[in-house]
Amino acid sequence: MVCLNRRDLGLLVLRVGTGAVLAAHGSQKLAGWFGGGGIRGTTAAMEAMGFQPPRHSAVAAGLGEAGGGVLLALGLATPAAGAAAAGAMAGAVAVHAPAGFFAQGGGYEYPAFLGFTAAAIGLSGPGRYSLDEVTGHVLDGPWVVALAFAGSALAAAAVVGRRAKGQAARVEAEAE
């Protein structure tokens, strides 16, 4: 008789659900699927939101969401997947923060939730029903967790900081 572990089953459901949402969002940015703008539209949106360089920002956001989402769903390189998705969501939070918290008013509630969920999965691990388990956790060790989350935090801080400086300079130039 097969005995399913509820914790591992719960992690599987959480990983697949969160990963699918992130992959869909990223595919909007990269390929224009599900009504998205594709690279061209996402690049224009990134430029309008103050991300520089806009095309690189569009590709990075799309890959962080789509790539991180697919890897989360599969439970492969789970710390890197969670960190990449959380880093991409940090940029989205920065864009939505001026509108307040709740998504209903354009706030950052939804991207923050996706980012925290992806980070939590990356930190907790994928569970037994995952490709990380099948591969002997080669890409899921403590060193991957530390490296992935440190790298993602530094990259997100740099991107969000560069955007904030650009936004401030633009406001200052308009005031003159």
Distance CA 92, CA 116 (A): 13
C-alpha pair distances (Å), 87 with each of 66, 68, 107, 141: 13, 10, 18, 20
Angle among Cα 12, 10, 77 to the nearest 5 degrees reads 35
Residue 102, token pair as written in the block: 């709740």
Whole-number pLDDT of residue 134:
96
Q: What pLDDT does residue 61 have?
A: 96
Report pLDDT digits (tens) over 60-82. Answer: 999 999 999 999 999 999 999 99
The beta strand positions in 10-122, using DSSP E, are: none
Domain ranges of the chain: 11-175
> pTM score, two decimals?
0.92
Higher pLDDT, 176 or 124: 124
Q: Is the pLDDT of residue 108 over 80?
A: yes
